[in-house]
Chain A
C-alpha cells in the first residue's frame, strides 16, 4: 500500500524537469475524479467522527476540562491521578478478569457450534442454524434482562432447579464473583453466533482429503479434530480471539441491564467507569485520560495477537 507513495515522493529529486507532474499523474492514475467522489463522504465522516474526536480526546486528557468553560492545561496530572485511583484499577482489573474467562468460553462455544453444524451426518442442520442465530438478534440490553431473569435469586429458573436437587439458594446477584459469572455466560451466549460464522467459513476451506486420509490411517474423531481441524483454522482462531477480546474489553450495555455493575460497584467494567466519570461526574479531562489508557491497552492486545498470527502463519 505504501509502495505507491514512495516513487511519488522521490520523484522531484530523481526525475528531469517536467517529470514530477507526469509521475504524479501516474500515481493518481487516469481516473481521479471518480475515486475521489466515491470516497469523499466517507473520508469526511471518518475525519469528523473518528479522527477529530480522537485528537480531541488526547488533548482533553491533558486538561481539566469539565464539558463547559475553559480547559486548563494540566500536563500529565490526569494520568498521574489515574495511577493512584483504586476505582480505576478495580474497573480495569475486573475487565481483565471478565475477558480472561469469557474469551475462552465464547471461543469454545462458537467453535463447538461451527463443528456441530458442519458435521456431515448431522440431521436438521438448517433448523439448528436458525436457532443458533437467534441470540445474535437479541440486543445486549435484552440479553441482560433474559439472563437476569434466569438467574434471579429468589425466583430464577436456575435456583429453582438447584433447589429441586436439594441445593440452597445461590446468591447470583449479591455475590460479585457469581454475578460476574452470569455476565460471562450471557456474553458468550450472545456473541457465539457471529464467531460461529467465521469458523464455518474456515472449516469449509479445510480440504476433505485430509480427513479421508486420516480416517484410513485409523484416526478417531477427536484425533482428526486436534491434528487437522485445529491447525487448519489457526488463522481464524486468532481472528476470533482478537475480535472477542476487543469486544469483551468494551462490554457495557449487557452489564448495565444485567447487574448495573453491581453488587455495589464491584463489577463495574472499564467503559462504565469512563462513562460515569465523563458523563455523571462531568470529569471529561480525567475520563479522556482513562479512555487513552484503554485505547493503548486495546492497541497492545491487537498488535500482540497480530504478531502471533503472523508467526503461526509462517510455520504452516
Chain B
C-alpha cells in the first residue's frame, strides 16, 4: 500500500499534465464541428448581403457580363452618384427619420406606462384593456387595411406623416415586454416609496422608468427598425411623393418596367445605412435581449 502510494504520486503529476494536454486537445477537437456548423450558417446568411453590397460597387457593364466575379474588378461609386442624382434622398431620409424617431419615442413612453399599469395595478378596466391588447397580437393591421384608410382619411391625416405615426404607436409586443419586466420588480419597492411620500407618478417616473432602461432601449431599437422599414401603411396613407418614406421611394424604383439595377442597388444600400449604424452601436440590446418574456404572454 505504502509503496504503491509512493510510486503513484509522481505518476499522478505526470498524468495530470498529460490529462490536461489531452483535454485541451480534446477541447480543440470538440470545437471543430460546432465552429464549422456555426460559420457555415453565418456565411450562408451573410452571402446574399455581401453579394448585394459588392455588386453596388460594380460599374453597369460588369453587373451583367458573365463570368461574374465576387469582388468588383473595377470599383466605382457611379451607381451611388446616379442614385443621389435621381432620387431626392435628403427628403426621403428626413421623412423616414421623422416617422421612425417620433413614433419610437411615443411608442416607448406609452408602452412603458401601459405595461407598468398592467403589471402593478388591478382593476376591471385594466383587465379588459389587457385582453384587448392581447387580441392585437393575433390580428395584424393588414386585415383592417381598408377601414383603417377611411378612418385616417376622415381624421384629416391622409397624406401626412402624422397619419403614419399615430396609428402605429401602440404595439402589443412593447406593452407586454414592459409588463413582463415590471412584474419582476417587487411591490415592496412601491410600498416603500409610498411610505416615503412619493406620488404614484413620482414612483413611476423616478424609480420604475429608470429601472426599465434596458427594456426601453431594446424596444426603442426594435420600434425604430419596424418604422424605418414599414411599407404597407405608408403606402396607403402617403399619396404625395413629397411625403414618401424611403421604402415607398425604393418600391417606385423596383416596380419600374425596366429596372435600373445600378441605381436600385446603390439606393437600397443607402437606405440601410442609418439602421446598420444604429444596430452596430446598440447591437447588444437586440442580440442578447430576452424577448420571449415579451411575447409569451
Residues of A within 8 A of B (CB): 1-2, 4-5, 8, 27-29, 31-39, 41-43, 45-46, 48-54, 56-57, 60, 67, 112-113, 116-117, 119-125, 127-142, 144-150, 154-155, 157, 160, 163-164, 189, 192, 194, 197-198, 201-202, 235-236, 239, 243, 246, 250, 252-253, 256-257, 260, 271, 274-275, 278-279, 284, 287-288, 291-292, 294-295, 298-299, 302
Contacts and interface: CB of A to CB of B under 8 A. Distances in A.
B218 to A, nearest CB: 10
A35 B293 CA distance: 22
10 contacts: A35-B123, A45-B166, A113-B45, A116-B37, A119-B34, A123-B35, A141-B231, A253-B231, A274-B146, A298-B143
B201 interface: yes
A288 B147 contact: yes
B98 interface: no
B41 interface: yes
Contact of B51 (A127, A148, A157): A157
Nearest to B111: A42
A169 to B, nearest CB: 11
A151 to B, nearest CB: 10
B81 to A, nearest CB: 19
B38 A122 contact: yes
Contacts of A275: 145, 232, 236
Contacts of B247: 139, 141, 253
B186 interface: no
B147 A54 contact: yes
A27 B124 contact: yes
B201 to A, nearest CB: 7
Nearest to B130: A1
Contacts of A163: 66
> Which 4 A-B pairs have CB atoms at the shortest separation, nearest pair first?
A139-B229, A34-B200, A119-B34, A253-B231
Nearest to A156: B68
A232 to B, nearest CB: 14
A128 B42 contact: yes
B37 A119 contact: yes
Contact of A49 (B113, B151, B250, B279): B151
A274 B236 CA distance: 12
Contacts of B42: 127-128, 131-132
Interface string B17-50: 0000000000100110011011101100110110
- Classify the secondary structure of A's interface with B: helix
A197 B51 CA distance: 25
A260 B66 contact: no
Contacts of A148: 254
B126 A252 contact: no
A43 B130 CA distance: 10
A299 B126 contact: no
Interface string B270-292: 01100110011001001101111
B250 A257 contact: yes
Contacts of B176: none
B196 to A, nearest CB: 16
Nearest to A123: B35
A125 B35 CA distance: 9
Contact of B250 (A50, A56, A141, A198): A141
Contact of A38 (B116, B275, B287, B296): B116
Nearest to A147: B48
B279 A2 contact: no
Contact of A123 (B31, B63, B116, B148): B31
A248 to B, nearest CB: 11
A27 B125 CA distance: 10
A260 B146 contact: no
A42 to B, nearest CB: 4
B101 interface: no
A130 B287 contact: yes
Contacts of A36: 125
Interface in B128-167: 129-133, 136, 138-151, 166-167
A291 B64 contact: no
B99 interface: no
Contacts of A133: 279, 283, 286-287
Contacts of B264: 145
* Most central of A28, A39, A202 by chain B CB within 10 Å: A39
Given A201-B290, A239-B295, A57 B144 contact: yes
Contacts of A239: 292, 295-296
Given A4-B127, A46-B136, A256-B231, 5 more contacts: A45-B167, A46-B133, A54-B144, A123-B31, A287-B146
B169 interface: yes
* Most central of A149, A243, A288 by chain B CB within 10 Å: A149
Contact of A122 (B34, B45, B169, B296): B34
A121 B31 contact: yes
Contacts of A32: 123
Contact of B123 (A27, A57, A124, A292): A27
A148 to B, nearest CB: 8
B93 interface: no
Given A197-B289, A246-B140, A253-B232, A121 B30 contact: yes
Contacts of B41: 112-113, 116, 128, 132
Given A1-B130, A45-B170, A50-B144, A157 B124 contact: no
A60 B149 CA distance: 13
Given A29-B122, A29-B123, A50-B144, A121 B116 contact: no
